[in-house]
Structure 1
């Protein structure tokens, strides 16, 4: 099967039924894909790709491995959003002439400075 968002789940379910599963990354299937985008064309491309000796398969992740990856990706997402939020606050305050040092360690002092609305009025 082609590796996609739910492929690890389905590979585990199919293995539970006693079948052997093999996941192929989408980048290896794409060269064999026909012009039409439908299930039959996708299945034909997967069958063609799996017969090639150079095409490697992706390992099926266990439930614990998937859960750990979800935790890591969620942390990465929250970290990026935190940086974006800090940068947005700094840039909005700069429009009022309140300049702050860059970095998450300085956001606390910036929040203290702007918590009094009188600091924003000239």
Structure 2
């Protein structure tokens, strides 16, 4: 008899998204745990911010991740226009990894990005 998965653990890694590129060649990573807590990592993978998603936003993120269907996307899609100084995103979720240029993102992956905290800290004091 198959065992159904229990509720997700607060320590479970829900999703990790790394954004690289842009005009200045920046790199940042957002790691979101199962309880909605998140950590922003800088280029050297040092913590650069933390927080917690509100419950409704965490639910929207989970829905967007399910709709993105990473297991059925190519790991490194090819084709599409090349945009110099554009961003490239790597999504890791549920044991699957997909790397895609910003201009090639699917609507579902754009929805995932919309529910994440910012990749850069707010510069205002």
TM-score (ref. length: structure 2): 0.24
Structure label with greater radius of gyration: 1
Greater helix proportion: 1
What's the TM-score once normalised by structure 1's chain length?
0.24
Structure with bigger RCO (C-alpha 8 Å, 6+ apart): 2
